[in-house]
Amino acid sequence: MNTLDFRTHEILDAIVRLNIETTKPVSSSLVARYLRGAYSPATIRVVMKNLEGEGFLLQPHTSAGRLPTDQGYRAFVDRVLSAWQLDRWETPRHLQQRITFDLQKSVSGSSLVKALATLLSKLTDNISIILGPSWESVRALRLDLYPKENRRVLLVLVLENALVRTGHFQLDRDYPRTVLLEAGRIFSERISGHTVAEIRAGLLASFTTSDSAASRCASELATRGRDLFSDVAEGEIELEGVSNVLDQPEFSEPGPLKALIRFLESPSAIRDVLNRLSSQSGDEFAVWIGKENPVGELHSFSLLSTPFDLGGRRGILAVLGPRRMPYQRAFSGMDVLRRSLQHLS
């Protein structure tokens, strides 16, 4: 991209911004008006023709305006990110207060990931995907047991950092309430202070008991309660805002919509893609545009991500939308949430 001079960059930026706004091919006269006469339409046409020859633009048909290619969008995005520290959006005070309130309200439980997805979708007007941090390194504080009817019990697992998981389980036999409560105490003492990884690695399987009824019940609870620890290794996924993109011209044909649905219906694909994309950027923004994405279903889209920190655990904020998305708004939305999380108590 260093091969493009200032004028060429300015005209390419204008074409990308106008295409994002209008959804249509962009003419030289429209660019001239957008740049307030800085260059004549004739000069702009020459630059546009050169950009087309170098692969940054394409012309859908003769006499039409130009559209950015993946390469054109990439040049625009790289330019936005190179000046990010100078041009980053300062959040209006009232909006920052609302974001902080919503996050504080949800910080006491796993609903924080859901809150992040809702906020990011509203801030970017695209599809938000949140990959929550893994719980593997989190330590268990205690297990609370609540007897229910028909041999059912509610187990409430309380972890550090105010994280909570719950599950209903049915036992094989009837136990007196006092036995159930004692069994819950035994179970709780056994796991207290251990990480989720340690518990998953065999702590429950090696649960040894004496011959008392409470011990036998505790052993059964350990077997039944494995589900509380079985799906937390990779972090939960929340997504919002699919309806934000359905009215976009990119979905006038069924192919892109089917591809999007196939991707969003596969948690394993989402985790794999976000982890691969995020690994390319360290702690910064990462972007795949169109066919840069190795996942075929996403060749009509752009995917943006950035990591966030929650209690020393790493998660990923991501925005998915058409290649013709408002990139600066998407970067700003992720940046606002990432900075807001840093100030949570």
How far is the CA of 320 from the CAs of 115, 131, 226, 281, 331, in angstroms? 17, 13, 34, 17, 12
Share of the chain residues as helix, strand and coil, in percent rounded to the nearest 5: 50, 20, 30
96-154 pLDDT, tens digit each:
888 888 887 776 545 788 899 999 999 999 999 999 888 788 889 999 999 998 899 99
What pTM was estimated for this model as a whole?
Answer: 0.78
Helix (H) or strand (E) holding 166: strand 163-170
237: which DSSP letter?
A: E
Q: Round the CA-based radius of gyration of the chain to a whole number and report it.
A: 26
Position 207 scores a pLDDT of 67
User: Please, what sign has the CA dihedral across residues 60, 63, 65, 69?
Assistant: positive
Residue type, 118: T
Residue range 35-83, pLDDT digits in tens: 999 999 999 999 999 999 999 999 988 778 999 999 999 999 999 998 8
Q: Is residue 345 scored above 60 in pLDDT?
A: no
The tally of CA atoms less than 13 A away on the side-chain side of residue 210 is: 5
Mean of the pLDDT values across residues 195-219?
81
User: Taking residues 296-320, what's their average pLDDT?
Assistant: 91
With 0-12 / 13-18 / 19 or more C-beta atoms within 10 angstroms meaning exposed / middle / buried, residue 242 is: middle
- pLDDT for position 99: 86
CA neighbours closer than 13 Å in the CB half-sphere of residue 139: 7
In this prediction, residue 57 carries a pLDDT of 97
At 87 the pLDDT is: 62
In angstroms, the CA 227 to CA 313 distance is 22
Sign of CA dihedral 166, 168, 172, 176: positive
| Per-residue model confidence (pLDDT) at position 1 | 44
Structural domains of the chain sorted by starting position, each given as residue range(s) with its CATH number in brackets: 6-82 (1.10.10.10), 90-134+234-342 (3.30.450.40), 140-230 (3.30.390)
CA dihedral 236, 240, 245, 250 (to 10 degrees): 10
What is the pLDDT at residue 229? 81
Helical H runs in the chain?
6-22, 28-34, 41-53, 70-82, 84-87, 93-106, 111-124, 177-191, 196-198, 213-224, 227-230, 242-245, 254-264, 267-278, 327-342
State residue 282's pLDDT score.
74
For residue range 247-281, list pLDDT tens digits in order: 888 888 889 999 999 999 999 899 999 999 988 87
Return the closest-CA partner of residue 187 out of 224, 139, 134, 138: 224
Q: Quick one: pLDDT band at residue 208, thresholds 50, 70, 90?
A: low
Distance of CA 254 to the CA centre of its chain: 25
The SS3 of residue 102 is helix
Has residue 163 got a pLDDT over 70? yes
Mean pLDDT of the chain: 88
Q: What percent of the chain is modeled with pLDDT above 90?
A: 57
